Chain A
Amino acid sequence: MKTRIIIAAVLTIVLLAIPSLAAGNNFIITLAFLFTIYTTLALAWNIVGGFTGQLNLGHAAFFGVGAYILALSTGAGFHPYLGVAAGGAAAVGLALLMSPLMRLRGDYFAIGTLSLAEAIKVAILNIHAYGIRVTPYGGSGRVENYYLASGLLIAAAIVTYLILRSKLKLALVSIRENEILANASGVNPLKYKMIALALSGVFTGLAGGIYGYNLLYVPAEHVYSIEWTIIPLFMVLIGGRGTLTGPLIGSIIYLGIYYLLQFTITEISLLAFGLVVVLIVKFMPQGLIETLFIKTLGVRRSSIL
Chain B
Amino acid sequence: MLLAPEILFGQLLMGAILLGGIYSLVTIGLALIFGVMRILNIAHGEFIIFGAYATYWISTLLSLDPLLTILLTIPVAALLGYVVNTLLIRGLTKSFDAPIVSSFGLLLIMQASMLIAWSGDPRSIVTPLTAESISLGPVVVPIIRLLAFTVSIIALTLLHFFLTRTSIGRAIRAISQDSESASTLGIPVQRLQTFTFILSICLAGVSGGLVAMLLSFQPTFGPEFLLKSFVVLALSGVGNIPAVIAGGLVLGIGESYGSFFLGAGLRNVVAYAMLILLLLVRPTGLFGRRGVREV
Closest B residue, CB atoms, query A112: B279
Give Cα A233–Cα B96 distance, bound, in whole angstroms: 14
Contact call A108/B230, Cβ cutoff below 8 A: no
Given A111-B233, A233-B101, A274-B109: A281 in contact with B92 (beta carbons within 8 A): yes
Which chain B residues in 258-280 approach chain A with CB under 8 Å? 263, 265-266, 268-269, 272-273, 275-276, 279-280
Which chain A residues in 106-127 approach chain B with CB under 8 Å? 106-108, 110-112, 114-116, 118-119, 122-123, 125-126
**Nearest chain A CB to B228 CB, angstrom units:** 11
B4 within 8 A of A: no
Give Cα A304–Cα B193 distance, bound, in whole angstroms: 22
Indicate which residue in B93, B112, B276 contacts A115 across the interface (CB closer than 8 Å): B276
Given A101-B279, A118-B227: A285 in contact with B113 (beta carbons within 8 A): no
Given A107-B40, A115-B230: A271 in contact with B275 (beta carbons within 8 A): no
B286 within 8 A of A: no
Residues in A with CB closer than 8 Å to B268 are 118-119, 122
Contact call A281/B283, Cβ cutoff below 8 A: no
Residues in A with CB closer than 8 Å to B97 are 55, 237, 305
Closest B residue, CB atoms, query A127: B265
Residues in A with CB closer than 8 Å to B111 are 270
Which chain B residues in 93-125 approach chain A with CB under 8 Å? 93-98, 100-102, 104-113, 116
Given A115-B227, A118-B272: A278 in contact with B106 (beta carbons within 8 A): yes
**Nearest chain A CB to B101 CB, angstrom units:** 5
B231 within 8 A of A: yes
**Nearest chain B CB to A193 CB, angstrom units:** 14
Give Cα A112–Cα B106 distance, bound, in whole angstroms: 22
Residues in A with CB closer than 8 Å to B273 are 119
Contact call B276/A178, Cβ cutoff below 8 A: no
Contact call B276/A112, Cβ cutoff below 8 A: yes
Give Cα A123–Cα B271 distance, bound, in whole angstroms: 12
Contact call A104/B279, Cβ cutoff below 8 A: yes
Residues in A with CB closer than 8 Å to B227 are 114-115, 118
Which chain A residues in 80-125 approach chain B with CB under 8 Å? 100-101, 103-108, 110-112, 114-116, 118-119, 122-123, 125
Given A111-B275, A115-B230, A274-B105: A285 in contact with B266 (beta carbons within 8 A): no
Indicate which residue in B92, B98, B112, B284 contacts A108 across the interface (CB closer than 8 Å): B284
A277 within 8 A of B: yes
Given A274-B109, A277-B104: A101 in contact with B280 (beta carbons within 8 A): yes
A147 within 8 A of B: no
State how many residues of chain A have any CB contact under 8 Å with chain B. Answer: 43
Which chain A residues in 270-293 approach chain B with CB under 8 Å? 270-271, 273-278, 281-282, 285
B178 within 8 A of A: no
Residues in A with CB closer than 8 Å to B266 are 122-123, 126
A180 within 8 A of B: yes
Which chain A residues in 246-305 approach chain B with CB under 8 Å? 267-268, 270-271, 273-278, 281-282, 285, 304-305
B33 within 8 A of A: no
Contact call A101/B269, Cβ cutoff below 8 A: no
Task: Give the residue among A55, A267, A270 with the most B Cβ atoms within 10 A.
Answer: A270
A230 within 8 A of B: yes
Indicate which residue in B88, B105, B272, B283 contacts A122 across the interface (CB closer than 8 Å): B272
Contact call A114/B106, Cβ cutoff below 8 A: no
Give Cα A251–Cα B23 distance, bound, in whole angstroms: 38
Interface flags for B175-193 (1: CB within 8 Å of A; 0: not) read 0000000000000000000
Contact call B272/A119, Cβ cutoff below 8 A: yes
Residues in B with CB closer than 8 Å to A282 are 88, 91-92, 102
**Nearest chain A CB to B251 CB, angstrom units:** 12
**Nearest chain A CB to B67 CB, angstrom units:** 32
B223 within 8 A of A: yes
Contact call B98/A277, Cβ cutoff below 8 A: no
Closest B residue, CB atoms, query A124: B269
Contact call B107/A122, Cβ cutoff below 8 A: no
Indicate which residue in B95, B96, B105, B272 contacts A277 across the interface (CB closer than 8 Å): B105
Given A112-B279, A118-B268: A234 in contact with B101 (beta carbons within 8 A): yes
B131 within 8 A of A: no
A226 within 8 A of B: yes
Which chain B residues in 217-237 approach chain A with CB under 8 Å? 223, 227, 230-231, 233-234
**Nearest chain A CB to B238 CB, angstrom units:** 9
Given A267-B116, A274-B106, A285-B93: A112 in contact with B100 (beta carbons within 8 A): no
Closest A residue, CB atoms, query B94: A304
Task: Give the residue among B108, B227, B268, B283 with the most A Cβ atoms within 10 A.
Answer: B108
Contact call B276/A274, Cβ cutoff below 8 A: no
Give Cα A181–Cα B9 distance, bound, in whole angstroms: 51
Indicate which residue in A101, A126, A276, A285 contacts B95 across the interface (CB closer than 8 Å): A285
Contact call B108/A305, Cβ cutoff below 8 A: no
Interface flags for A60-83 (1: CB within 8 Å of B; 0: not) read 000000000000000000000000
Give Cα A116–Cα B273 distance, bound, in whole angstroms: 8
**Nearest chain A CB to B119 CB, angstrom units:** 13
**Which 3 A-B residue pairings sit nearest by Cβ, starting from the closest?**
A274-B108, A277-B105, A119-B272
10 contacts between A and B (CB under 8 A): A101-B276, A104-B279, A107-B34, A111-B230, A115-B234, A118-B268, A234-B104, A271-B116, A282-B88, A285-B95
Q: A111-B234, A274-B106, A278-B102 are in contact. List 11 more A-B contacts (CB 8 A).
A: A55-B96, A101-B280, A108-B284, A122-B266, A126-B265, A180-B294, A278-B105, A281-B101, A282-B102, A285-B92, A285-B93
